[in-house]
Amino acid sequence: MTSFVLNGATVRAEVPEGTSLLHALRGPLGLSGPRYGCGDEQCGSCMVLVDGVPAYACTLGTEAVAGKQVVTAEGLGSMAAPHPLQAAMLAEQAGQCGWCLSGILVSASALLARNADPSEDEIRLALDPHLCRCGSHNRVIRAVQRAAREMRA
Amino acid sequence: MSGFGGQTAPDPSKPKLPGNLHTNRRLAQWLTFRADGVVLVHPGKVEIGQGILTTLAQIAADELDVEFSRVVLTPASTPGSPDEGVTSGSLSTQDSGSAIRHACADARRIFLSVTSQRTGVPIESLMVRDGAFLGPQGQVGSYWQLADAALLEVEASPDAKPKPVGERRVVGRSVPRVDLPEKVFGVARYVHDLRLPGMLHARVVRPPARAATLLSVPEAPAGTQLVRDGSFLAVLAPTEWQAEAAATRIAARATWQAEDTLPDQGGHATYLREAGARGERTSVVTRDDAAPGVARTEKRSFFRPFLAHASIGTGCAVAQWQGEEVTVFSHTQGPYNLRADIAKTLRTTEDKVLVRHMEGAGCYGHNGADDVALEAVLIARAVPGVPVRLLWTRAEELGWGPFSSAMLVDVEADVAADGSLVAWRSHIISNGHSSRPGRAPLPTLLAASQLATPFAVAPSVNPPMTNGGGAPRNGVPYYRVPKLDIETSRLLEMPIRTSALRGLGATLNVWSIESMLDELAAAAGEDPVAYRLRHLDDPRARAVLEKVAAMCGWATRSKREGWGLGIGFARYKNTGAYAAVAAEIEAKERVFCRRLWIAGDAGEIVNPDGVVNQYEGGAIHGASVALLEQVSFDRRNITSTNWQDFRILRFSEVPKVEVAMLNHPEAPFLGAGEASMAPTIAAIASAITDALGVRPRSLPFTPEHLA
């Protein structure tokens, strides 16, 4: 059993040692934002923030986040109070199937936390761990730029 | 392709109705008014990431004169939804949108007519405002007041008249997508997120080869349960991680008899020729019009490898048996088609199988969605009454779903002394491009051939040319050519299972035609755009080509070392949407596509931003296919089963894209999802020639293929 802070609330994940954080989040903790895509750190669908740093939940053992802060797409904002990145994704209609978006949101939030005004190349580089098959990349980049503008304002 | 089998045959004695209303004629199948001011619309088409739900809701809101927010789309399910076949072929707006437009116009007419009879207000004095019926003296009724009146339990009338173009208010606007908010906030929406009480988790244990017989299985790890039927092997567990660990453990200990059945990838083109010669050769089209004499003939061959769908999410389904009936939640493209093949595999009747659609990750054709649904049904049979969730792994998604067939085309073009096209002969060699479920006597789903009493696997077929064709899709030049002789050979052996992927044969055919045109233009000393234009009669085709040339500054382009600009054009299926694409590439240690300009024409546009999104997404998909994608295999199995071995474009490699759509509000819907992909591949090939002087002959355009 591992205790950590998930999206602001202390939780206890009752999973055997060695179980991935992704399984804990989607299983007993009941979240849907972190998604399985490859299980091997190659697509970014499962990305979460661990103490503010993007991490692949698919390969990270749950016990590794004991006592840490874990944030998922659900923790960034809600429909009632969206994170500027979530609002920007909707404003730019930055998605088709949407599978990749929750992981992208997590990485983009970490980027904007350390760089309030990233260049387009910096955004592309920060999102390079994330695969998108629908071809929404340019819209996603515009959404990150829009969110950055709004967060600076 | 939805008209291609799998649907109820239309009754020839009935008058023609638009789209799939023709085969699903009862209005109540399509819409339901609720007393609380909501109208439910029931399309048989499904959301696969393309935004169709939003488009259909716009059409309904406009025809009914209700606010967009009152329209709620219900997910397709059997047996209640209209049978709209498969959500494929860029036909959803045509097939379903036309049906919903007409059904809503008819519903509106019926409701106004009843209100007129009841109130005495003449129908021509009634107007509809957000669902309320207003007469000269004020409101006299509404859809919601008549919700219980069963007025829609009738067949649609062919006389209903949808609104004239000028009166549409919601159609033609970029209404935000209805599905996107939940996806951005991580709300459970995909079938993968479905959690039913008592649900068990399953994983399949795959054989080590495409042709393999299961000899022995180990004991199931404690707390898990093996499910075996012939060579189909799976494991059930209370949690996902137990299922995953058990599958890994069992896979390492199960024994199989495996055979080499795959061709040698190194000699793949040779294999295609040999297997094609053993296959079924048919004529696609011949034409023999008067033409000037032949001055020169050019012959070229083009090849493309197998392509994977490569959705970012993997296949998933949740199945539950109750007595003789099974319900399966699935991200299938065709609920009725899937139902048919599950029933065939179970040797039961279709009424025993209920298919309920839930969204999956992006779908670009016939991927493993249907296969995983059958497998969930087979596994759940072992635990009656208990819901079972089956998820495919990344390796299964890239290794076991159907692939788009490798293809080879030999092209010969004759030109006259002035460079004009005289004759075009081509021979397109490929496996078939459809093994979709629900259309053949035998089930086509993966597990059906692995059972203890297995079903034979029939080689994939090609949809008829009236539906756009399969391997020969876009194989007939859209340019003016007096003499045509287009043939195709379909392989009758299928060591690697093939089916429909975005564009089908167009992916290769458009590039081969456009490459030839570039070459013939160069030989004639003409500009490639001017050369195309002088062979194009269709003003809409000319318009997109001229538009894209203007967008990319074609006439004033200048040469830059290591950079190239190229152009490609196609009208999808030669009857669908138009796309002209210009590509700018940079040739470094490998080729990068930096910018794409696209001019499109999809007929009437319901949601402008949605169409741009589809064109842009298709073009990026095309750029990825052009530069990176190929399925690898050894003599036993697919080996490109992770994202390092099956590469697709990443953010740092994706070109910027600019799209301009030429709107034709009076014209029929032409679809949008597949139009831009093939011309993008052609434009990138052309740009490579501009930059490097070499003409690519094999996809993908990697350094080894450009040497």
CATH of the domain at B236: 3.30.365.10
Chain B residues touching A139 at Cβ < 8 A: 613, 616
Last residue of one domain, picked from the residues A43, A75, A107: A75
| Mean pLDDT computed over A124-134 | 98
pLDDT of residue B3: 34
Interface of B with A in 158-187 (CB under 8 A): 174, 176-177, 179-181, 183-187
Last residue of one domain, picked from the residues A52, A75, A98: A75
Residues B677 and B533 in one domain: yes
CB contact under 8 A, B48 and A23: no
Identify whether B7 is part of a domain: no
Instruction: Dump pLDDT digits (tens) for B531-582.
Output: 999 999 999 999 999 999 999 999 999 999 999 999 999 999 999 999 999 9
Instruction: Dump pLDDT digits (tens) for B439-457.
Output: 999 999 999 999 999 999 9
Best probe of the A interface among B52, B173, B312, by most A CBs < 10 A, is B312
Domain count, chain B: 3
Residues B461/B463/B464/B469 CA torsion (nearest 10 deg): -110
Q: Does any CB of chain A come closer than 8 Å to the CB of residue B587? A: no
Instruction: Dump pLDDT digits (tens) for B493-510.
Output: 999 999 999 999 999 999
- Confidence tier at B608 by pLDDT (50, 70, 90): very high
- Confidence tier at B132 by pLDDT (50, 70, 90): very high
CB contact under 8 A, B642 and A19: no
Residue B574 contacts residue B478 (beta carbons within 8 Å): yes
Task: Give yes or no for residue B229 having a pLDDT over 80.
Answer: yes
- Confidence tier at B9 by pLDDT (50, 70, 90): low
Nearest by CB: A42 against B49, B619, B644: B644
Q: 3-state SS string over B330-383?
A: ECCCCHHHHHHHHHHHHCCCHHHEEEEECECCCCCECCCHHHHHHHHHHHHCCC
CA distance A69 to chain B (A): 18
Which domain range does residue A45 map to?
A: 2-75
pLDDT of residue B2: 33
| Mean pLDDT computed over A37-65 | 98
| Separation between Cα atoms, residue B609 and residue A95, nearest integer Å | 11
Best probe of the A interface among B87, B92, B184, by most A CBs < 10 A, is B184
Nearest by CB: B186 against A32, A42, A90: A32
Residues B579 and B685 in one domain: yes
Task: Give yes or no for residue B606 having a pLDDT over 70.
Answer: yes
| Separation between Cα atoms, residue A136 and residue A93, nearest integer Å | 9
Interface of B with A in 274-313 (CB under 8 A): 310-313
| Separation between Cα atoms, residue A130 and residue B14, nearest integer Å | 52
- Confidence tier at B467 by pLDDT (50, 70, 90): very high
Residues B616 and B548 in one domain: yes
- Confidence tier at B12 by pLDDT (50, 70, 90): confident
CB contact under 8 A, A73 and B186: yes
- DSSP class per residue in B433-490: SB--TTSSSS---GGGGTSSSPPPPPPPB---GGGT-STTTT-S-SS--SEEEEEEEE
Instruction: Dump pLDDT digits (tens) for B150-194.
Output: 999 999 999 999 999 999 999 999 999 999 999 999 999 999 999
Nearest by CB: B50 against A15, A96, A133: A96
* B559: its two tokens: 């040469």
Task: Give yes or no for residue B7 having a pLDDT over 70.
Answer: no
- Confidence tier at B13 by pLDDT (50, 70, 90): confident
Interface of B with A in 620-639 (CB under 8 A): 620-621
Q: Does any CB of chain A come closer than 8 Å to the CB of residue B651? A: yes
Chain B residues touching A74 at Cβ < 8 A: 185-186
Identify whether B447 is part of a domain: no
Task: Give yes or no for residue B594 having a pLDDT over 50.
Answer: yes
Which backbone phi and psi does B259 adopt, to 5 degrees? -125, 155
Of all residues in chain B, the one with the smallest CA distance to A99 is B361
Cβ-Cβ pairs closer than 8 A, A with B, add up to: 171
| Mean pLDDT computed over A102-129 | 98
Residues B377 and B300 in one domain: no
B280-288 β-sheet, strand order: B280-288, B483-490, B421-430, B407-415, B296-304
pLDDT of residue B76: 96
Best probe of the B interface among A76, A133, A142, by most B CBs < 10 A, is A133
Residues in a beta bridge with B297: B414
Residues B590 and B476 in one domain: yes
CA distance B48 to chain A (A): 7
Last residue of one domain, picked from the residues B133, B151, B177: B177
Share of chain B above pLDDT 70, in %: 99
pLDDT of residue A1: 87
Which backbone phi and psi does A125 adopt, to 5 degrees? -65, -40
Domain count, chain A: 2
Residues A97 and A36 in one domain: no
Q: Collect all residues with Cβ–Cβ distance below 8 Å to B181 and sequence separation of at least 6.
A: A79, A90, B187
Residues B483 and B367 in one domain: no
Instruction: Dump pLDDT digits (tens) for B393-415.
Output: 999 999 999 999 999 999 999 99
| Mean pLDDT computed over B49-60 | 95
Q: Write down the residue that tokens 């404690």 correspond to.
A: B222
CA distance B654 to chain A (A): 7
- Confidence tier at B89 by pLDDT (50, 70, 90): confident
Chain B residues touching A78 at Cβ < 8 A: 185
Chain B residues touching A82 at Cβ < 8 A: 184-185
Q: Does any CB of chain A come closer than 8 Å to the CB of residue B196? A: no
Of all residues in chain A, the one with the smallest CA distance to B595 is A138
CB contact under 8 A, A90 and B648: no
Pairing label, strands B211-216, B200-205 = unpaired
CA distance A91 to chain B (A): 8
Identify whether B342 is part of a domain: yes
| Mean pLDDT computed over B64-76 | 97
Q: What is the mean pLDDT of chain B?
A: 96
CATH of the domain at A55: 3.10.20.30
| Mean pLDDT computed over B55-69 | 97
pTM: 0.97
Which domain range does residue B572 map to?
A: 292-306+403-433+469-706
Task: Give yes or no for residue B4 having a pLDDT over 90.
Answer: no
